[in-house]
């Protein structure tokens, strides 16, 4: 969402709260099926809207005349990096099953297409930008991680002029996706695998490390999963010259060589 199109997220409790009487609940709530499309529609119409998340998980929207108000809750969350680093305070080992890891990989990859034209891809995703919610402790047990619903946190309404699309070259985004897929499969970070104090930040040194990891032959991923990683790193001969996401040729290759193999790989767990 761009600056001329303020958007805010509110909970059902906020809608009925006397402290937020300015929320235009009299206009009613309109259920939506596609969150990103609703944001795009609001942007095109320059129409401020508020999104309401119901207790059943459904999202609705309502028109508002207010400027942007972003309300955050105090929910505890943990990054994928923390999970992969094996933090002893996070009892994740049993919960982060192979099934959930494979589904996570598919969701991260497929969302590149769904969000490619929004502010959610102003930067590439990494193990530091993928989060999980912490579930509250129960029956004397410690807090655990909800691995079923990962999310990415990003600013979608700030003071800078929005461009409406990703400014980072596709090859960079796909390299980082390939590294993420490697980290998810091996359940460790790039730095930890190579015993590095700090991973390289430039494109070609990172690519070299990722290719070395993919080719080392230790605990290789399933064929389809490995194929998707390979295409993220080196399997698209025309990626180098494609500098914009607004290219059908790019998405044809991404869908065929990355999304489809990951989807087929997940069939056994659906």
Output 217 or 113, whichever has higher pLDDT: 217
pLDDT band at 56 (very low <50, low <70, confident <90, very high): low
Among residues of the chain, what percentage have pLDDT more than 70?
67
Q: Give which of 235, 118, 125, 239 is closest to 181, Cα–Cα.
A: 125
Confidence of residue 118 (pLDDT cuts 50, 70, 90): low
Q: What pLDDT sits at residue 227?
A: 95
229, pLDDT greater than 90: yes
**H helices then E strands: how many in the chain?**
10, 7
Question: pLDDT, tens digit, for every residue of 236-256?
Answer: 555 556 666 777 788 888 889
Give CA 34 to chain center in angstroms: 16
Q: What value does the mean pLDDT take over residues 1-24?
A: 42
Is residue 186 scored above 70 in pLDDT?
A: yes
DSSP state of 257: I
For residue 265, pLDDT beyond 50: yes
Retrieve residue 159's tokens. Answer: 């003071």
Predicted structure pTM score: 0.69
Distances (CA, A) of 203 to 51, 242, 257: 38, 16, 21
> Shortest CA distance to 173 belongs to which of 115, 221, 227?
115
């Amino acid at each position: 969402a761009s600056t001329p199109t303020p958007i805010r997220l509110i909970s059902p409790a906020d809608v009925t709260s006397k402290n937020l009487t300015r929320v235009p609940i009299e206009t009613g709530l309109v259920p939506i099926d596609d969150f990103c499309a609703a944001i795009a529609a609001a942007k095109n119409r320059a129409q401020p809207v508020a999104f309401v998340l119901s207790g059943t998980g459904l999202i609705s929207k309502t028109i508002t005349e207010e400027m942007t108000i972003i309300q955050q809750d105090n929910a505890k969350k943990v990054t994928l990096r923390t999970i992969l680093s094996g933090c002893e305070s996070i009892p994740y080992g049993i919960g982060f099953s192979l099934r959930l890891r494979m589904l996570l990989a598919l969701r991260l990859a497929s969302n590149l297409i769904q969000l490619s034209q929004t502010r959610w891809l102003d930067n590439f995703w990494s193990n530091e930008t993928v989060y999980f919610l912490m579930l509250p402790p129960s029956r004397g047990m410690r807090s655990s991680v909800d691995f079923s619903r990962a999310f990415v946190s990003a600013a979608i309404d700030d003071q800078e002029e929005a461009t409406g699309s990703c400014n980072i070259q596709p090859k960079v985004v796909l390299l980082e996706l390939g590294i993420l897929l490697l980290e998810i499969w091996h359940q460790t970070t790039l730095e930890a695998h190579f015993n590095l104090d700090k991973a390289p930040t430039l494109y070609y040194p990172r690519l070299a490390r990722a290719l070395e990891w993919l080719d080392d032959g230790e605990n290789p991923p399933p064929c389809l999963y490995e194929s998707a990683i390979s295409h993220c790193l080196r399997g698209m001969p025309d990626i180098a010259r494609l500098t914009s996401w607004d290219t059908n040729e790019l998405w044809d290759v991404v869908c065929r060589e990355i999304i489809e193999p990951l989807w087929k790989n997940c069939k056994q767990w659906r």
